[in-house]
Chain A
Amino acid sequence: MQSNAALEYDYTVAKLYTYTAIVFGFVGMLIGTLIAAQLAWPELNYLFGEYGTFSRLRPLHTNVVIYGFTVSGVFATFYYSAQRVLKVSMAESKFVNGVAKLQFVLYFIAAASMVITELMGITQNKEYAQMEWPLDLLIVVIWVLWGVAMFGLIGIRREKALYISMWYFIACFLGVAMLYLFNNMAVPTYFTSGGVGSIMHSVSMYSGTNDALVQWWWGHNAVAFVFTVPIVAMIYYFLPKESGQAVYSYKLSLLSFWGLMFVYLWAGSHHLLWSTVPDWMQTMGSIFSVVLILPSWGSAINMLLTMKGEWNQLTENPLIKFMVLASTFYMLSTLEGPIQAIKSVNAIAHFTDWIPGHVHDGVLGWVAFMIMAGLFHMAPRMFKREIYSKKLIEAQFWLQTTAVVLYFTSMWIAGITQGMMWRAVDEYGNLMYSFIDTVTVLHPYYAIRALAGILYLTGFVMFAYNMVKTMTSSRELSEEPQFRSPMA
């Protein structure tokens, strides 16, 4: 180990993705808050001409928070934690380091292009797959580069056993690769029509119900392999490391992993209940969605049990607070999803505000909490400075927790009210309410959601401020903290 004495982990790429996670997180949540307010106060649609309308900004919001914020968070935490659990530095391979840096440059170009093209209204019109074909091609290159960096790093590792986080990162890589390719199969019309129309335009290679099925095979598994799998990878590394407690049951983590891989891919058709897809496929989507509770709770309970005997840390360390609440929201969200996938429940829930309510207790409470906690944990190690302010993290935690609760409770009430009103019939079988009746009733809940957005965004600004201050002016550390992250 003599030669390793001066060797250190190289966090250059992890830092770059940390910066983009902060920037895209702010932009994505700002747009989200604006469109939430637009639903309550429609006049806000006309602030910036065509560029400020709900229809233009809604896909931009989802894409920026998914592919800008979350994916940056995934890459940042991967390039940080993979080195550590594999016990190999990026600096040890110029090739791997070069590939990772190239991946970041292309990622930034793609993400910026995504924002510009979607703001211009250039879109494939498929949910979570709005980017047009030239960007899709670029994303394939970025993803392949990530794979090269990942397996390159694995190839030169010192730690022969792959820690469970790595399994999840590999699953994220493989799952997204397969699904993204299939869902984005499209024909660029400019070339096939002999130069007619826009060069950016394309038509899906699938049509009708098949297109819907492939779309939701992707759509739901984007939730699986972008919002779940890499976030589970994060919590399996960051919670044990921050708390100093090894994962409660390593075997349970392996079981949950294979259970999740086995079940998740089949659940996507629950997005198409009561639609034109075959009935057996709808039933299969329902059943697999309910079974999905088991592997999801397997990981979440494993994380909570990791804190066994160490629950005092929950009050002492705000990062543990973030991670434990993230795990709890993961449990809530993965119970709520299967409930919504039951056909009879879905008859009321489908197309209502309960669905974005469900999505947001998952993404705000689980995904974003976990990413922010991960980045906070990384900051003192990457920048060799203590976290700027513990008080600010505490305040951010309570502000954002309040925001998440306001968001999902208002949307639960709004969604169920909406679903019931749509189905209500009078004694002659006529519909009792028109669409605008529901909008009038739901207005207060939309206002509450907009308030929740403002609170969560404010919390994110506090996070960004705390991170920037940590990078630039916090107290320098003489040595790397082993477990608990130091904070002023």
Chain B
Amino acid sequence: MGLRELQGYASFFMTIFLVVMLYGYIVYLYRSEKKGKKDYEKLGKIALDDEIDSAPVNTSDPLPDEKKEQNK
């Protein structure tokens, strides 16, 4: 197998790998929100409530403070 053929295979499998990663990410986003582990949509508020003294949104965790309490 020559170098060019090897490059061809490497390119093909890397593309497949990246496609799997991308689709895996999509599944992860929707599944974690469905299970209530994440709330990505609240991050959209960062643009609206952007005064310097506004409370930060900080995380996509739906109930970050309560969970922190639970972990103590």
Contacts and interface: CB of A to CB of B under 8 A. Distances in A.
Interface of A: 1, 4-5, 7-9, 83-85, 87-89, 158-161, 163-165, 236-237, 240-241, 244, 246-247, 249-251, 254-255, 258-259, 262, 280, 483
Interface in B27-54: 29-30, 33, 40-48, 50-54
B41 A246 contact: yes
A160 B44 CA distance: 14
Nearest to A238: B47
How many residues of B sit at the interface, in one of the four size bands?
Answer: 20 to 34
A292 to B, nearest CB: 14
Contact of B52 (A7, A164, A247): A7
A354 B41 CA distance: 40
Given A160-B59, A247-B47, A280 B29 contact: no
Given A83-B52, A84-B47, 10 more contacts: A4-B52, A158-B56, A159-B56, A159-B58, A160-B56, A161-B56, A241-B48, A246-B45, A247-B47, A254-B40
A250 B50 contact: no
Nearest to A266: B15
The 5 closest A-B pairs by CB, nearest first: A246-B44, A84-B50, A163-B46, A159-B56, A247-B44
Contacts of A237: 47
Residue of A1, A161, A483 with most chain B CB atoms under a 10 A cut-off = A161
Contacts of B47: 84-85, 163, 165, 236-237, 240-241, 246-247
Nearest to B33: A251
A258 B44 contact: no
Given A246-B41, A254-B40, A258-B22, A161 B29 contact: no
Contacts of A5: 53
Contact of A240 (B18, B48, B56, B60): B48
A87 B50 contact: yes
Given A4-B52, A240-B48, A160 B22 contact: no
Nearest to A159: B56
Contacts of A251: 29-30, 33, 40-41
B40 A262 contact: no
A90 B2 CA distance: 54
Nearest to B42: A250
A161 B58 contact: yes
Contacts of A4: 52-53
A163 B59 CA distance: 10
Contacts of B29: 251, 254-255
B22 A163 contact: no
A84 B48 CA distance: 10
B34 to A, nearest CB: 11
B6 interface: no
B44 A250 contact: yes
B25 interface: yes
B53 A262 contact: no
A250 B40 contact: yes
A250 B41 contact: yes
11 contacts: A4-B52, A4-B53, A5-B53, A84-B52, A85-B46, A87-B52, A160-B58, A163-B47, A236-B47, A247-B47, A255-B26
B48 A161 contact: no
A7 B52 CA distance: 8
Contacts of A241: 47-48, 50
B44 A161 contact: no
A319 to B, nearest CB: 15
Residue of B8, B33, B44 with most chain A CB atoms under a 10 A cut-off = B44
B10 interface: no
B22 A262 contact: yes
Given A163-B43, A251-B30, A254-B40, A262 B54 contact: no
Contacts of B51: 87
B58 A244 contact: no
B16 interface: no
B63 interface: no
Contacts of A254: 25, 29, 40
B27 to A, nearest CB: 11
A250 B45 CA distance: 10
A161 B57 contact: yes
A87 B44 contact: no
A8 B58 CA distance: 20
A461 to B, nearest CB: 31
A437 to B, nearest CB: 43
A164 B26 CA distance: 16
B52 A89 contact: yes
A161 B60 contact: yes
Nearest to A157: B56
B50 to A, nearest CB: 4
Nearest to A2: B53
Contact of B18 (A7, A89, A159, A262): A262
A255 B33 CA distance: 14
B71 to A, nearest CB: 17
B10 to A, nearest CB: 13
Contact of B25 (A85, A159, A161, A258): A258
A250 B44 CA distance: 6
